[in-house]
């Protein structure tokens, strides 16, 4: 066997001299991730700069080499931002693309950048830096979303809306109370993402391919430069772990669950059957054939996009479940779903925020009238009797009877005469009318967290304070 002389020239082939021939072009395309991981370039550059600084700091590279690498990487950033650096699939992925360009720019010293590093810890670092940034942005969107919900709630404390269970009229509510329920959900989403961020912000840099490195590196130094809170304790875990991505996708899925539920309500509310909101032109579209139509595209799209994010969560879980330690190429599949989920969540939050801020108008007259035309005050009749000492179950049965006979007579509870009430039960008095008036029905639910106006005003106050402190924190 003939051993060829070592080729140390600036060869452009990606792989070591172990390889004799090039990849099949279709396989090169199949293998390449540059078309999507180019989105990580800014993070790849920051990560590589921190790595180069660490190498110089530890005396693994000279200070001068370190500076040249950092400057070269900086230049690539400028080129990328100006649009002059546009690597194609021959680069395979963003990491190779950057290293090649760096070597073109600074010469052989560029080939030293990958000392004591692998693409495995590199891509893990990039993905975490990316997600950390995106989580920050999504959390800011969640606060803005809460702000517009709060603003709408503040103007609609006294607006009533039918409350439903099983989509059947149940008890009337303050519209503010209804909107504040979504504020609570968005607040949990904000907190949940803050918690996920803690596990995103751990540095795998320096885990190497899987086992660490023979060089005297300082992982804490590069981690600190990159603003990571901790470093992975185990190198195998560091390069294999995508739990943080699963957690993010789960948190993102819940955000979409919340937005989708609100969307469903807005779609119902905008229908002629409900007519609780009017859609403004800025957020709705028409039909190409039915000139009378105005469609709630924004909430429909949000509801529709929800499935994508759930799908990405499922895909990530399935990608991980059978993987032996440590890195496997399957992990390249972590990115597109993650990127799409990030884009989808941001887009949906932004659209719903605009919709609530200026895309719809509640119709207080319709809403207030709606609760006056039903039996959603029936519980209050039972409560009225129970407050006078009649056992609740007995009162409940009696009111059921009243509803039945009233329905048959085509009357509402408010239409019964005092005589009729007193025939039903002698405990009824003339104050029954005030007790079952919708506004009183709402006001009376003054238990903590209930829809009573006084409670709602306090809840608004608390939500506003909590939001202010979250806004200051971010």
Binding positions for ligand ARG, rule: CB under 6 A? 33, 37, 93, 119-120, 123, 327, 329, 331-332
* Number of helices and strands in the chain (H, E): 19, 6
Distance (Å, whole) CA 293 – CA 266:
16
CB of 245 to ligand ARG, least distance (A): 12
Do strands 202-203 and 230-231 pair parallel, antiparallel, or not at all (unpaired)?
A: parallel
CB of 10 to ligand ARG, least distance (A): 22
Q: Which is nearer to ligand ARG, 33 or 134 (CB)?
A: 33
Catalytically annotated residue among 13, 271, 282, 287: 287
Question: Could you confirm whether 33 is annotated as catalytic?
Answer: no
Q: Which is nearer to ligand ARG, 33 or 253 (CB)?
A: 33
CB of 244 to ligand ARG, least distance (A): 15
Distance (Å, whole) CA 128 – CA 232:
12
Q: Using alpha carbons only, what angle is made at residue 144 by residues 138 and 148, rounded to the nearest 5 degrees?
A: 145
Q: Which is nearer to ligand ARG, 180 or 341 (CB)?
A: 341
CB of 113 to ligand ARG, least distance (A): 15
Q: Which is nearer to ligand ARG, 14 or 154 (CB)?
A: 14
- Give just the sign of the alpha carbon dihedral 414, 415, 419, 425: negative
> In a 3-state reduction of DSSP, which class is residue 101?
helix
In sequence order, the β-bridge partners of residue 165 are 168
| Element holding 169 (H helix, E strand) | strand 168-174
CB of 331 to ligand ARG, least distance (A): 5
Q: Which is nearer to ligand ARG, 37 or 380 (CB)?
A: 37
Show Cβ contacts of residue 366 under 8 Å, excluding neighbours closer than 6 positions: 275, 276
Distance (Å, whole) CA 427 – CA 432:
10
Tell me if 35 sits within 8 A of 89, measured CB to CB: yes
CB of 335 to ligand ARG, least distance (A): 6
| Two structure tokens written together for 201 | 């912000």
Catalytically annotated residue among 11, 21, 166, 430: 166
> Pick from 45, 68, 47: which is nearest to 56 by CA?
68
Q: Which is nearer to ligand ARG, 80 or 190 (CB)?
A: 80
Distance (Å, whole) CA 452 – CA 460:
12
Question: Could you confirm whether 48 is annotated as catalytic?
Answer: no
Catalytic residues: 166, 287
């Amino acid at each position: 066997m003939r051993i060829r002389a070592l080729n140390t020239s600036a060869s452009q082939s990606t792989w070591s001299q172990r390889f004799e021939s090039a990849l099949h072009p279709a396989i090169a395309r199949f293998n390449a991730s540059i078309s999507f991981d180019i989105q990580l370039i800014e993070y790849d550059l920051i990560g590589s700069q921190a790595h180069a600084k660490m190498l110089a700091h530890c005396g693994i590279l000279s200070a001068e080499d370190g500076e040249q690498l950092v400057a070269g990487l900086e230049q690539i950033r400028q080129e990328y931002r100006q649009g002059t650096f546009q690597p194609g699939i021959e680069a395979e992925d963003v990491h190779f693309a950057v290293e090649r360009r760096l070597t073109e720019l600074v010469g052989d010293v560029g080939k030293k950048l990958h000392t004591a590093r692998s693409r495995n810890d590199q891509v893990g670092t990039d993905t975490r830096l990316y997600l950390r940034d995106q989580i920050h942005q999504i959390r800011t969107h969640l606060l803005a979303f809460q702000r517009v919900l709060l603003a709408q709630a503040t103007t609609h404390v006294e607006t009533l809306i039918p409350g439903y269970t099983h989509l059947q009229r149940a008890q009337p509510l303050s519209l503010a109370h209804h909107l504040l329920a979504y504020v609570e959900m968005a607040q949990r989403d904000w907190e949940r993402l803050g918690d996920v961020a803690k596990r995103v912000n751990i540095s795998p840099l320096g885990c190497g391919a899987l086992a660490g490195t023979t060089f005297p590196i300082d992982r804490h130094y590069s981690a600190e430069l990159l603003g990571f809170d901790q470093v992975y304790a185990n190198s195998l875990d560091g390069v294999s772990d995508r739990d943080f991505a699963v957690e993010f996708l789960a948190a993102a899925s819940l955000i979409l669950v919340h937005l989708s539920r609100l969307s469903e309500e807005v779609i119902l509310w905008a229908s002629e059957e409900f007519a609780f909101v009017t859609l403004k032109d800025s957020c709705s579209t028409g039909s190409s054939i039915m000139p009378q139509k105005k469609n709630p595209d924004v909430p429909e799209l949000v509801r529709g996009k929800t499935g994508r994010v759930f799908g990405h969560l499922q895909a990530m879980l399935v990608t991980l479940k059978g993987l032996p330690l440590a890195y496997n190429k399957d992990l390249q599949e972590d990115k597109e779903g993650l990127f799409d989920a990030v884009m989808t969540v941001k887009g949906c939050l932004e659209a719903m925020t605009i919709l609530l801020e200026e895309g719809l108008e509640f119709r207080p007259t319709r809403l207030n009238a709606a609760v006056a035309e039903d039996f959603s005050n029936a519980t209050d009749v039972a409560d009225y009797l129970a407050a006078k000492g009649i056992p609740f179950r007995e009162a409940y049965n009696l009111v059921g009877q009243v509803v039945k006979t009233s329905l048959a007579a085509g009357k509402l509870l408010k239409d019964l005469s005092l005589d009729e009430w007193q025939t039903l039960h002698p405990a009824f008095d003339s104050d029954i009318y005030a007790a079952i008036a919708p506004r009183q029905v709402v006001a009376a639910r003054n238990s903590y967290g209930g829809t009573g106006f006084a409670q709602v005003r306090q809840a608004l106050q608390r939500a506003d304070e909590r939001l202010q402190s979250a806004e200051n924190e971010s």
